Chain A
Amino acid sequence: MATTRDWLLDDSPSSRLQARLGRSYRLSHALARNPLAMVGAIIVLTLILVALFAPWIATHSPIGQDLAMRLKPPSWDNWMGTDELGRDIWSRVVYGARITLMIVALVAVLAAPVGLIVGAVAGYFGGWTDRILMGITDIFLSMPKLILALAFVAALGPGIQNAIIAIAIATWPGYARIARAETLTIRNSEFVAAVELQGASSFRVIVNHILPLCTSSMIIRVTLDMAGIILTAAGLGFIGLGAQPPLPEWGAMISRGRSFILDQWWVATMPGFAIVIVSLGFCFLGDGLRDVLDPKHGDRQ
């Protein structure tokens, strides 16, 4: 172990691979020293594991109804109780992790790159390109996220795919703004001037030199936004425009439990807990990543 560690921390790496691995090692080491970030990472990791191994972790079928077992409080058999159709809430929450993870991952995959590219292109070229791209961005930004997502879902029709698309459409403008702001500061730096002087094309400058510097703030921002995305998805589920029954989406579960909130608190509370814990997990992780990746502090580690 000691030798691997020395190899990773070597001040004079002898290959590209070693330099890159060394940097990742230093970053993860710094992240591990931040307790809140570790809590966040563990929560997010748990979410991923639960989603992957849902069939083994769940004790019942997430959609199997048993009207004889309606609205039972938490017990040895049903750890989180049962809902109004006699379905096991623990199993539904476990399967719900899959839906939440899918929403989060797809939104990140759709929205972050679009925002990144639009912002970088606008910031790099400036002038009319900037004005047009940022004009579009501002139109999207001027509307609250949930309302915008609502409008799109209403137009596209309810359903989980449409909810994901709607959330992605509502999220990218924020990333475009950040990417543009970062690009503007990078664009005038001397290292960009230096590659331009070597005859690099605009495409090359943006992709090889500007985007890599925007990504860390983007990763931080996306991680911090995850909580908001989960809440928006839950919100859409809650008003019936997101995942459709019988899919065990957490927001929709809360919505159905609302009618029993006074007498059978667990029906709405258990998925609520799941949302809060996962959102917090992403927030902690995002905060920790910011401490580690932020170029103002990170590289000195």
Chain B
Amino acid sequence: MNALAIDNLDISYGDSKVTHGIGFNVAEGESFALVGESGSGKTTVLKAIAGMAKSWTGSISVFGAPRSHGIDRGFAKQCQMVFQDPYGSLHPRKTVDATLSEPLAIHGIGDSGARVDEVMQSVGLDRRFRFRFPHQLSGGQRQRVAIARALILKPQMLLLDEPTSALDVSVQAEILNLLKRLRREQGLTYLMVTHNLPVVSFLCDRLAVMRHGRVVEIADVDQLKRGALVDPYSRELTKFSAAHLQN
């Protein structure tokens, strides 16, 4: 079964259409990347799946069930999101403990003390951070908290919105390793939005290249690694990323 199936998706903001006929499938347990530059509509697709961009036509289905245009609790337990900015995605007045307990309270799940402990351990956060406020944490620690928050409801799929682009490279490496390990351990499905092709190469199995609201190419990550993408725009993107590295 596909974890995610998108067909003919048109998303609009007000009167202007942002995406045109987007379609792709993500298999269960797969890690899929949406790649493109700013304004390509990649983040908007993520928002439509999450229920944050509400005016769209076409079809989105998650684990076989069609998505509604809003957010419902059942979906929340299946699919969670990790945001780009670890400074903006944590409530400044809530401790790590409060942030992680909130989803459990919403879903009426008891035993929050043990669950919080468990999830903090699995994202590699030491116990002493549990009652700290976000301003007492570094960027990498905050992003670990954000990942823990996404995982505490034990979802099967994570939507990752540029999860490492606001981090230093050495911290990025830690978070990428963490995401890779979590996927292996918990059999998660990832849909990641990014502009960073080397990150895709490290973390993903397949990718879709987007430009001006359209998918121009869907390819295996092997093709990316070999520099064998077909579409001229994809090749151009690859060239820029590779140019950096060879210098």
B52 interfacial contact with A, CB 8 Å? yes
A19 interfacial contact with B, CB 8 Å? yes
The A1-18 residues at the B interface (CB cut-off 8 A) are 11-16, 18
Contact call A197/B88, Cβ cutoff below 8 A? no
A195 interfacial contact with B, CB 8 Å? yes
Who on chain A is nearest to B149 by CB? A194
The smallest beta-carbon distance between B105 and chain A, in angstroms, is 9
The B77-95 residues at the A interface (CB cut-off 8 A) are 77, 80-81, 83-85, 88-93, 95
B202 interfacial contact with A, CB 8 Å? no
A144 interfacial contact with B, CB 8 Å? no
For chain B, the count of residues having a C-beta within 8 Å of the partner chain is 38
Task: Annotate A222-256 by CB proximity to B: 1 below 8 A, 0 otherwise.
Answer: 00000000000000000000000000000000000
B50 interfacial contact with A, CB 8 Å? yes
B133 interfacial contact with A, CB 8 Å? yes
The docked-state distance in angstroms from the alpha carbon of A11 to that of B71 is 37
CB neighbours (8 Å) of A204 from chain B are 106
The docked-state distance in angstroms from the alpha carbon of A300 to that of B133 is 11
Instruction: Select which of B50, B73, B135 is within 8 A of A300 by beta carbon.
Output: B135
Instruction: Select which of B76, B81, B92, B149 is within 8 A of A299 by beta carbon.
Output: B92
CB neighbours (8 Å) of B97 from chain A are 16, 19
Contact call A197/B102, Cβ cutoff below 8 A? no
Task: Annotate A29-71 by CB proximity to B: 1 below 8 A, 0 otherwise.
Answer: 0000000000000000000000000000000000000000000
A151 interfacial contact with B, CB 8 Å? no
Contact call B92/A295, Cβ cutoff below 8 A? yes
The docked-state distance in angstroms from the alpha carbon of A89 to that of B216 is 85
B128 interfacial contact with A, CB 8 Å? yes
Contact call A212/B102, Cβ cutoff below 8 A? no
Contact call A198/B129, Cβ cutoff below 8 A? no
CB neighbours (8 Å) of A190 from chain B are 83-85, 88-89
CB neighbours (8 Å) of B192 from chain A are none
Who on chain B is nearest to A23 by CB? B133
- 21 A-B residue pairings within 8 Å (CB atoms): A14-B130, A14-B131, A18-B131, A19-B131, A19-B132, A19-B133, A191-B88, A191-B89, A191-B92, A194-B146, A194-B149, A195-B103, A197-B71, A197-B81, A198-B80, A198-B149, A199-B75, A199-B76, A213-B91, A299-B133, A300-B135
Chain B interface (Cβ within 8 Å of chain A)?
Answer: 50-52, 71-73, 75-77, 80-81, 83-85, 88-93, 95, 97-98, 102-103, 106-107, 128-133, 135-136, 146, 149, 153
